[in-house]
Amino acid sequence: MGRLTAEQLKVIDLSLIEWYYEQAMARHNDLVRVESLITERGYTLFAIYFGILTAAIGYILTHLSANDDAALTSGCLSIVVFTSISIGYIYHVIKPHTLLAPGKEPDKFTIPQYIAYFKGKDIDQKKQVVSDELVVLQQKITAQEAMNKKRVEYTKRSLAFLIFGSFVAVTSFLIAFAIY
């Protein structure tokens, strides 16, 4: 969405532009709420992964010299590797990220540019300012949505590595069990 032209400003009503802005704010607030849910789930997965990693490493360290537990040790080693990769992905989900607040600080209102733009023109100023804010809000919505999608993708990869690691752990356990 770009800036409204003078003709568009004459046709469209201010209340309609404000309604569009309210709808865009609702969309942005929804995306921020989704971001918060993604972060909460990321912390939960992070805690679960560390629990799994701690248990696997604890088992390996306590049974390192035992020859009869080679199958379990090899299974735990694969769990350690794949859980570590999962933790790497989930870290990208929970690491601090930029907050895209919907509004502007007063020093970014670009008042001098508006004064120069409105000088000598018969344009409803409030319509143009609200529509410009709508453009800025659209940019923030787009950025927030892209960030949310990226974080969801990291979560999916993390879970995929954990599931794949579980299958590798079972396979390595069975192979080591058959050998010993």
DSSP string, 48-74: HHHHHHHHHHHHHHHTSS-STTHHHHH
Above 80 in pLDDT, residue 180? no
- Side chain identity at residue 85, one-letter code: I
pLDDT at 20: 86
Residue 111 has pLDDT above 70, yes or no: no
Q: Are 56 and 169 in contact (CB under 8 A)?
A: no
The answer to whether residue 9 scores a pLDDT higher than 70 is yes
* DSSP count for the chain of H helices, then E strands: 5, 0
Residue 106 has pLDDT above 90, yes or no: no
User: Please, what is the average pLDDT of the chain?
Assistant: 84
- Type and span of the H or E element at 91: helix 70-94
**Mind listing the pLDDT tens digit for each residue in 38-78?**
999 999 999 999 999 999 888 888 877 666 777 888 888 88
**How high is the pLDDT of residue 30?**
92
Rg, the chain, Cα only: 27
Q: What is the residue type of 126?
A: K
Lowest mean pLDDT among 37-51, 87-101, 131-145: 87-101
Alpha helices for 95-124 (secondary structure H): 111-118
Distance CA 95, CA 50 (A): 16
> What share of the chain in percent tops pLDDT 90?
34
Q: How confident is the model at residue 82, as a pLDDT?
A: 92
| Structural contact between residues 148 and 35, judged by C-beta atoms closer than 8 angstroms | yes
Q: What is the mean pLDDT of residues 7-11?
A: 76
